[in-house]
């Protein structure tokens, strides 16, 4: 079941709500530059096991409205809060992949974890996607500036290149094309705007220490986008957290090791 929820005047966010009568609710926040459909291999299985799965398309992506602005983490976290309140969600599990994980962390800090019972971070882009003087573990700033430049000059080519480094295990040509099309569903300006946010956002370092709920960190050892030391930093920064390395995964661990991913998530929910 899919529908739109208004988060601001003339701005509507798309929500996919699977098994609304499920026993426990998991809210999924996708990574850049895709949308909720990236979790297809979770949505195939978890509702069958009795869980309510809610996939949210961030503004600018998927089936959500694509305004010109509002692509900083504060606003994106506020959008999630609007969805949570509109659906009356309580004691849910909040899960985020990559940039979606960063937004989930900002939600926990900015909204005091409103309604969240547990947090799950999947290859999260936190506390910093890029290298900084005090954090040498991310990508080089120039690599992100190149992504932004390429987004403006030849976004399809940029998306294909990004997709080629996303997964560690082999994916078929049709699967690669499907994943590529997810990125094309976004607007060019929102795709670039999120990438610009990676350069300037430094608040996640302090956000980590505000998280009080049990937290699961799933991260591929071969991740070439959000390098594995980011997961180590998250684990150190979040007191009640558990880090599970994925030995045979890259950035797309939700597909690289989808059975293990689903199993770890379910076990965490039921703890």
Catalytic residue numbers, as ranges = 98, 223, 251
DSSP-based three-state secondary structure for 168: coil
* Cβ atoms within 10 Å, residue 57: 24
What is the Cα–Cα distance from 111 to 48, expressed in whole angstroms? 31
Distance CA 242, CA 106 (A): 19
Contact criterion met (CB below 8 Å) for 64 and 13: yes
* Cα–Cα distance measured from residue 187 to residue 199, given in angstroms and rounded to the nearest whole number: 20
Distance separating alpha carbons of residues 3 and 144, to the nearest angstrom: 33
Structure tokens at 47: 């509702």
Q: Which long-range contacts (CB under 8 A, 24 or more apart) does 197-200 make?
A: 197/71, 197/72, 197/73, 197/99, 198/99, 198/125, 198/129, 198/130, 198/144, 199/130, 199/141, 199/144, 199/145
């Amino acid at each position: 079941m899919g529908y739109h929820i208004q988060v601001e005047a003339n701005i509507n966010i798309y929500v996919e709500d699977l098994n609304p009568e499920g026993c426990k609710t998991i809210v999924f926040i996708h990574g850049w530059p895709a949308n909720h459909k990236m979790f297809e291999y979770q949505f195939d299985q978890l509702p069958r096991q009795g869980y309510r799965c809610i996939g949210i398309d961030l503004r600018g992506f998927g089936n959500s409205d694509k305004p010109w602005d509002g692509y900083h983490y504060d606003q994106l976290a506020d959008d999630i809060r609007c969805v949570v309140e509109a659906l009356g969600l309580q004691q849910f599990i909040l899960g985020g992949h990559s940039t979606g994980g960063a937004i989930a962390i900002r939600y926990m800090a900015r909204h005091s974890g409103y309604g969240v019972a547990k947090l799950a971070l999947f290859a999260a882009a936190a506390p910093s996607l890029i290298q900084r003087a005090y954090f040498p573990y991310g990508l080089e700033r120039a690599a992100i500036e190149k992504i932004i430049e390429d987004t403006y000059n030849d976004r399809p080519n940029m998306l294909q290149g990004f997709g080629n480094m996303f997964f560690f295990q082999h994916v078929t040509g049709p699967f690669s094309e499907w994943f590529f099309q997810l990125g094309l569903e976004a607007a060019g300006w929102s795709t670039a705007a999120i990438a610009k946010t990676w350069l300037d956002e430094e608040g996640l370092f302090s956000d980590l220490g505000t998280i009080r709920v049990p937290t699961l960190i799933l991260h591929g050892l071969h991740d070439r986008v959000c390098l594995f030391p980011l997961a180590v930093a998250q684990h150190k920064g979040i007191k009640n957290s558990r880090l599970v390395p994925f030995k045979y995964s890259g950035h797309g661990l939700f597909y690289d090791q989808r059975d293990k991913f689903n199993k770890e998530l379910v076990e965490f929910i039921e703890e």
